[in-house]
Amino acid sequence: MDKTIGVLIVETDAGTPGMATSNDLKPSTIMSAEEEAQNFFVDRLSENVLIFDGDGYLITANEEAKQLYKKLGYQDEIIGLFYDNLTLDYYTFDYIKFRAERSSSNWFFDVETHYLQYYFTIKYSWIKNKQRLVVIIQDTTEVKKREEELVLKAVAIREIHHRVKNNLQSIVSLLETDTLTPFRITGSRFARHPRFTSRIEQILST
């Protein structure tokens, strides 16, 4: 049977090096850890995400956002740039902050914009207690292109309907003219009448 021979107790003074607690960490160290965790999370989002500090300078951007701005012509690092140098909808940071600070809580705002040949939906979130502006940019270019194609198709269909209507009016006029001739043709006999079919073909070919 095993016996307990003794117990070793090690006491460590609160000031012993290498045994720092969260209370001993410098605020900058804690902030760095928070930012690292924040960047880790943001970088895994599929949307284009930008986070600005309370003064309007970009402190976080995920890889999707960085690639988007490269596509828009920003070849240098965008971290550290002022908001007004990155805006895609021409709102200034002062304007956004003014609107956000008038709210008693967190503030949200969506806008659709057109920049170069691209279309975007931009979602703003002002985190009041952190003094942070979170901007999520959704590229809606393909959706807008499809919408434009549908509009063009609708216009083409309306034009076709307009031409058909005009052609039908012409046909009606021809039929009315035929009814005034000595040879009155009614009912299904119209379809077999050579003058009728030849004129229909002439109208539809224009």
Taking the C-alpha atoms of residue 188 and residue 202, their distance in angstroms, rounded to an integer, is: 20
Q: What is the pLDDT of residues 152-177, one digit of tens each?
A: 777 777 777 667 767 767 766 766 66
Quick count: other Cβ atoms within 10 Å of Cβ 48? 22
Give me the pLDDT at residue 151, please. Answer: 77
Kindly list the strands in the beta sheet with 132-139, ordered across the sheet, starting from the edge strand earlier in the chain: 58-61, 48-52, 132-139, 118-127, 107-115
Give me the pLDDT at residue 196, please. Answer: 59
Reference 108, options 116, 117, 99; nearest CA is 99
Scanning 25-92, the segments in alpha helix (DSSP H) are 27-42, 63-71
Give me the pLDDT at residue 28, please. Answer: 43
Give me the pLDDT at residue 17, please. Answer: 46
Rg for the chain, CA atoms, rounded? 36
Torsion region of 40: left, alpha or beta (phi above 0 gives left; psi -120 to 50 gives alpha) = alpha
Q: What is the pLDDT of residues 126-155, one digit of tens each?
A: 998 889 999 999 999 998 788 777 777 777
In this structure, the strands spanning 107-115 and 58-61 are unpaired
Give me the pLDDT at residue 146, please. Answer: 84
Give me the pLDDT at residue 101, please. Answer: 86
pTM, full prediction: 0.57
Tokens of 119: 């279309």
Using 70 as the pLDDT threshold, list the residues of the chain that sit under it. Answer: 1-46, 161-162, 165, 168, 171-172, 174-206
In this structure, the strands spanning 107-115 and 132-139 are unpaired
CA torsion, points 69, 75, 76, 79, in degrees to nearest 10? 10
